[in-house]
Structure 1
Amino acid sequence: MLNKFLFEQTKLPLLHKGLDTYALRQKASAHNIANVNTHGFQRMEVKFEDELRKALNIDRGMTGKMTSPGHFKIGAATLEQVEPQPYMPKDEDLHSGVNNVDIDEEMVRLAKAQLSFDFASRMTNRTFSALRSSIRGEVSS
């Protein structure tokens, strides 16, 4: 119970989802880059932010709460249910002449995912440092 109280009152669940998403995006971009010359290869992307906005009620749509896995989903999922989803976009343009991977675009995506992962990991570290200081009774200035 204490674990749930401490960690759900912080941004840690959100940061955890972000770290998972950015790691998956790095993996997807690396996979796309590795297959830049593979004939017929379809690039992969990861979607997450739209479902996260819905789960956090940023879009303010109709909501409902599932109390059983057998219930129909009404409105957005909860934060616990939102997961990064890999998908293959419907892109018919052959950027490299053999597939739909644009190496420059993938390098930008890879760098962006790395920077985002680094930021989220620093924020996670700060959150744990603040919790550690609170537990020890230290006062920060």
Structure 2
Amino acid sequence: MGLSMIESVTQAALTSALTGLSTRQRVIADNIANINTPNYQAKRVTFEDALAQSVAQGSGAVTPDVLPSLEPTQTNGNNVNLDEETLNNIETGLRYQFATQAMNQQFQSLTAALKTA
């Protein structure tokens, strides 16, 4: 995917990060909602390594992967760990806030540059 004239690798990476983090938030919510569902297998979202590689290659565009969790299962076949999901949710929320602030700064910079052009 090529970048437009006004889109930077930073903006593409921030967009990918926000997409990955929002996907992670939805997956965490699904995991928690199914905490008592027999044989439910928790899922995990990964995108950080792919994003780092994409940025290094000059793109910044990636799609998150949703994979099954490798956590051990309980006697009912479910492997959702509420403590882990809660911590992941807090961390994801903080990362999302940071990425949103960074994206806002990118837009402010672009707006300022367009005003002076």
TM-score band w.r.t. shorter chain: 0.7 to 0.9
Instruction: Give the unaligned 5+ runs of structure 2.
Output: none
2:108 is matched with 129
Question: Residues 35 and 82 of structure 2 are in contact (CA less than 8 Å); yes or no, is this contact kept in structure 1?
Answer: yes
More helix as a share of residues: 2
Q: Which has the larger radius of gyration?
A: 1
4+ long deviations beyond 3 Å: none
1:72 is matched with none
Q: Give TM-score, length-normalised by structure 1.
A: 0.72
What SS does structure 2 have at the residue aligned with 1:87? Answer: strand
Amino-acid identity (%)? 27
Question: Residues 32 and 82 of structure 2 are in contact (CA less than 8 Å); yes or no, is this contact kept in structure 1?
Answer: yes
Q: In structure 2, what is the Cα distance between the partners aligned to 1:129 and 1:25? A: 27
Q: In structure 2, what is the Cα distance between the partners aligned to 1:129 and 1:55? A: 24
1:92-131 superposed matches below 5 A = 92-94=72-74, 97-98=75-76, 99-131=78-110
Superposed CA RMSD in Å reads 2.1
Flag the 1:31–1:119 CA change in 2: closer, same or farther, 3 A. Answer: same
Q: Give TM-score, length-normalised by structure 2.
A: 0.85
